[in-house]
Chains A and B, each alone.
Chain A
Amino acid sequence: MEEIAADKRINIKGFVCPYTFVKAKLAIESLEVGQVLEILLDSEEASRNIPKSMEDHGQKMLKNEKINDTDWILVVRKERE
Chain B
Amino acid sequence: MMDFTDDQLQRYSRHIILPEVGGKGQAKIAGAKVFIVGAGGLGCPVGYYLTAAGVGTIALVDNDSVEMSNLQRQIAHSVNTIGMPKVESAKRTFEALNPDVRVIAMQRRLSKDDILDLIRDYDVVVDGSDNFPTRYLVNDACVMAGKPLVSGAILRFEGQVTTIVPHDGPCYRCLFEEPPPAGLVPSCQEAGVLGVLPGVIGALQATEVLKLILGKGEVLKGELLIYNALKTEFRKVKVPRNPSCPLCGEHRTITELVDYNEGYCSMP
Main secondary structure of the interface of B (DSSP, over half): helix
Instruction: Please indicate the chain A residues that have their CB under 8 angstroms from the CB of B24 in the complex.
Output: 29
The 28 sampled A-B contact pairs (Cβ below 8 Å) are A18-B13, A18-B14, A18-B17, A19-B9, A19-B10, A19-B13, A21-B17, A22-B9, A22-B13, A22-B16, A22-B17, A23-B9, A25-B16, A25-B17, A25-B22, A25-B23, A26-B1, A26-B4, A26-B16, A26-B22, A26-B23, A29-B1, A29-B22, A29-B23, A29-B24, A30-B1, A30-B23, A57-B19
- Chain B nearest Cβ from A72, distance in angstroms: 20
Q: Please measure, in the bound complex, the distance between the C-alpha atom of A26 and the C-alpha atom of B22, giving whole angstroms.
A: 7
Given contact pairs A19-B13, A25-B16, A30-B23, enumerate 18 new A-B contacts (beta carbons under 8 Å): A18-B13, A19-B9, A21-B17, A22-B9, A22-B16, A22-B17, A25-B17, A25-B22, A25-B23, A26-B1, A26-B22, A26-B23, A29-B1, A29-B22, A29-B23, A30-B1, A53-B17, A57-B19
- Which residues from chain A sit less than 8 Å from chain B, CB to CB? 18-19, 21-23, 25-26, 29-30, 53, 57
Q: Please measure, in the bound complex, the distance between the C-alpha atom of A17 and the C-alpha atom of B8, giving whole angstroms.
A: 16
Instruction: Please indicate the chain B residues that have their CB under 8 angstroms from the CB of A22 in the complex.
Output: 9, 13, 16-17
1/0 per residue, CB under 8 A from A, across B204-241: the answer is 00000000000000000000000000000000000000
For chain B residues 1-35, which have a beta carbon within 8 Å of chain A? 1, 4, 9-10, 13-14, 16-17, 19, 22-24
CB closest chain-A residue, reference B19: A57
Q: Please measure, in the bound complex, the distance between the C-alpha atom of A29 and the C-alpha atom of B4, giving whole angstroms.
A: 13
Instruction: Please indicate the chain B residues that have their CB under 8 angstroms from the CB of A18 in the complex.
Output: 13-14, 17
CB closest chain-A residue, reference B1: A30
CB closest chain-A residue, reference B12: A22
Instruction: Please indicate the chain A residues that have their CB under 8 angstroms from the CB of B17 in the complex.
Output: 18, 21-22, 25, 53
Q: Please measure, in the bound complex, the distance between the C-alpha atom of A41 and the C-alpha atom of B30, giving whole angstroms.
A: 29
Instruction: Please indicate the chain B residues that have their CB under 8 angstroms from the CB of A30 in the complex.
Output: 1, 23
CB closest chain-A residue, reference B14: A18
Leading 7 A-B pairs by shortest Cβ distance: A26-B23, A22-B13, A29-B23, A22-B16, A30-B1, A57-B19, A18-B13
CB closest chain-A residue, reference B22: A29
Instruction: Please indicate the chain A residues that have their CB under 8 angstroms from the CB of B9 in the complex.
Output: 19, 22-23
Instruction: Please indicate the chain B residues that have their CB under 8 angstroms from the CB of A53 in the complex.
Output: 17
Of A21, A25, A30, A53, which is in contact with the most chain B CB atoms at under 10 Å from its CB?
Answer: A25
Instruction: Please indicate the chain A residues that have their CB under 8 angstroms from the CB of B22 in the complex.
Output: 25-26, 29
CB closest chain-B residue, reference A56: B19
Q: Please measure, in the bound complex, the distance between the C-alpha atom of A60 and the C-alpha atom of B9, giving whole angstroms.
A: 24
- Chain B nearest Cβ from A28, distance in angstroms: 9
Instruction: Please indicate the chain B residues that have their CB under 8 angstroms from the CB of A21 in the complex.
Output: 17
- Chain A nearest Cβ from B7, distance in angstroms: 12
Instruction: Please indicate the chain A residues that have their CB under 8 angstroms from the CB of B14 in the complex.
Output: 18
